[in-house]
């Protein structure tokens, strides 16, 4: 059976007790921790740097960490985040002067590499880079802030990427980021997603496990209809 990955985003976590909050969400069934790195330049918000990731590793967090660089430029931060325990590093093609070089840098530092596509970013970059990618991230909101509504056009884009991967036989994870909730995660799964970045839907809840269990049930229910 296909393994679907839930990736709680720490952008919505309690930073006053971050280590404990992340441990709680992992114990409740989260698979991957999603790091939203914003520079108040490429996107209109300022968040966290490599020291936060390093502190979580020191705290004892061993789960995979998925670093989403919403920064411009990206190369210096690729080096910094790879040294402190990242597993995946993804960036926006518009933020790199030499996309292929940035992808290669991520891999040379021992991490999985990926590109992130904003709602209006063309998939044409994949014509030249798909064979080099481990993960493709589709933004279902405009990046910068949590608790936004899912943009419906993302589903058609998701279907296109799923078909591109399957037709070419690539082993690439498709991650969808933004506006994912219990009532839409099943549909997103049936359109081809493998990993789901979830922020406020989990962290605004008083019971992380209940939300995560409900999301997995919705994915399983929707997936069973395809069989």
The residues annotated with a catalytic role in the active site are 36, 177
Structure tokens at 118: 């904003």
Q: DSSP of 183-205, one letter per residue? A: TTHHHHHHTT-SEEEESHHHHTS
Alpha carbon distance 76, 70 (integer Å): 13
DSSP for 17-83 reads: GHHHHHHHHHHTT---EEEEEEBSSSSS-B---HHHHHHHHHHT--S-EEEEEE-SS-HHHHHHHHT
């Amino acid at each position: 059976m296909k393994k679907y990955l839930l990736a709680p985003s720490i952008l919505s976590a309690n930073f006053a007790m971050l280590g404990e909050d992340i441990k709680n969400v992992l114990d409740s069934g989260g698979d991957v921790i999603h790091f939203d790195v914003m520079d108040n330049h490429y996107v209109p918000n300022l968040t966290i740097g490599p020291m936060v990731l390093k502190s979580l590793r020191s705290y004892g967090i061993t789960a995979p960490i998925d670093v989403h660089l919403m920064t411009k430029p990206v190369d210096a931060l690729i080096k910094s985040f790879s040294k402190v325990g990242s597993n995946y590093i993804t960036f926006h093609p518009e933020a790199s002067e030499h996309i292929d070089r940035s992808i290669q840098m991520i891999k040379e530092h021992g991490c999985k590499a990926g590109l992130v596509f904003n709602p209006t970013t063309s998939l044409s970059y994949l014509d030249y880079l798909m064979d080099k990618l481990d993960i493709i991230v589709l933004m279902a909101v405009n990046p910068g802030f949590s608790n936004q509504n899912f943009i419906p056009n993302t589903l058609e884009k998701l279907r296109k990427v799923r078909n591109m991967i399957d037709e070419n036989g690539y082993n690439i994870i498709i991650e969808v980021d933004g506006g994912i909730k219990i009532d839409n995660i099943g549909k997103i799964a049936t359109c081809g997603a493998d990993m789901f970045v979830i922020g406020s839907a989990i962290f605004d809840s008083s019971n992380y496990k209940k939300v995560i269990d409900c999301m997995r049930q919705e994915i399983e229910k929707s997936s069973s209809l395809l069989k």
